[in-house]
Amino acid sequence: MTGTDATAPSDPPGVDLRSDTVTRPTPAMYERMRSAPLGDDGLDGDPTARALEALVARTLDKEAGLYVPTATMGNLLAVLAQTERQGQVLLEATAHMFLTERGGATLAGLAYLGIAGTAGAMDLDELERTLRRPGGLRTELVGMETSHANAGGAVPPLAHMRAVMEAARGAGARVHL
């Protein structure tokens, strides 16, 4: 089959943002890709990526932005920016970062630990016990996933996220969302 398979279903209006693997580029997207200025990210930088970084920095009132090509890379960079080696990162046990991205923890000298939960929201009592457990690794970071891919796209309630944040901060840990 080719990319012009006549039996392929037609795309719904708009762009499907559930995943980068389900979005089918529109003719306008293809034209933009075809006419985009080119650069070398290893030499002088890619002009499109640089423009995106600048836009994000201005939008978020930050000094700079950094484009990374995958969410896995973005999560790992966020974890590395907030932790020290030989620390621990707590995540709900079915979180995407815990199940599919923890290989990067090995390279970073970190341990990811899953906390049991329901519908993507970690059990607060278990979180507290883990944060207070003597003799364990120092918890550097507590991560929450929203929307939680392995819980059907569930978003933990705001009150729950605040409780996780308070527990983490009370134990001297940072929070990654």
What's the average model confidence in pLDDT over 20-45? 83
User: 51 Cβ partners below 8 Å, 6+ apart?
Assistant: none
CA distance 111 to 137: 8
Say if CB 26 and CB 33 are below 8 A apart. no
User: 20 Cβ partners below 8 Å, 6+ apart?
Assistant: none
Indicate the burial class of 12 (C-beta count within 10 angstroms; 0-12, 13-18, 19 or more).
exposed
Say if CB 131 and CB 173 are below 8 A apart. yes
Longest dimension (CA), the chain: 63
pLDDT at 163 over 80: yes
What's the average model confidence in pLDDT over 160-176? 97
Left, alpha or beta for 26 (phi > 0: left; psi -120 to 50: alpha)? beta
pLDDT in tens, 91-147: 999 999 999 998 888 888 999 999 999 999 999 999 999 999 888 789 999 999 988
What's the average model confidence in pLDDT over 13-21? 67
Cis peptide before 147 (omega within 30 of 0): yes
Say if CB 108 and CB 83 are below 8 A apart. yes
pLDDT band at 148 (very low <50, low <70, confident <90, very high): confident
Going by the DSSP 8-state scheme, the letter that residue 12 receives in this structure is P
End-to-end CA distance of the chain: 41
pTM score, whole prediction:
0.76
Confidence (pLDDT) at 69: 84
Third-level CATH fold of 71-176: Aspartate Aminotransferase; domain 2 (3.40.640)
Question: What residue spans define the domains of the chain?
Answer: 27-59, 71-176
β-pairing verdict for 111-115 and 117-118: unpaired
pLDDT at 14 over 70: no
Confidence (pLDDT) at 105: 84
Query: Average per-residue pLDDT in the chain?
Result: 87
